[in-house]
Amino acid sequence: MSRRAKITRRKFIGIAMAAAAAGPLASCSRLVSPWRVLTAEEAQTLGAMCERLIPADQDSGAAWAGVVIFIDRQLAGTYKKLRKSYRQGLAGTDQTSQRHFGRSFAELNARQQEEILTMLEKGRAQGDAWKQLSSGEFFDLVLAHTMQGFYGDPRHGGNREGVSWKMVGLPYPPIRGRLHYDLSRPERS
């Protein structure tokens, strides 16, 4: 295989996510980035973290479900107060990755990424970024938001096509305030 033809799965997913998010915006705006709050580098690091937390197997993982899109949208609104934590935490994650493996987090293989995530989770990550923000707290924040983006309502940007609902066997999307009736069965008196 030629050197030009080699592309890792992770890079492909990162490029595909950016292209999918940029598609509708590219033609009708002058935005440089498809992201509302995150930079392209931050989105790539966050995407790699989320994909390690909910990896693809026989079902789609966090990347395909659009978890990073969900988090970016929430950082533009509801999670606005957490922007600084995300910026510091993502920079700290890459800093820790550089310190231990000489590459950014998104460039690491799965085993190396899991080692970095374990350090973060246990609060053992080292670096300047972790002086103001605990790596354990940042890991918990990303984990919680990854779960929300994967299992939440698709209207918020994640859980593309209800992928997690299909995975757990929900026959319909949950609708708040409405009961679902099976009208094919006769009523019991």
In tens, the pLDDT along 81-108 reads 999 999 999 999 999 999 999 999 999 9
Q: Whole-angstrom Cα distance, residue 150 to residue 50?
A: 10
Per-residue pLDDT of 36-93, as tens digits, reads 999 999 999 999 999 999 998 888 888 988 999 999 999 999 999 999 999 999 999 9
Q: Is 159 left (phi over 0), alpha (psi -120 to 50) or beta?
A: left
> Which tokens in the block code for residue 6?
């080699």
* pTM higher than the cut 0.75: no
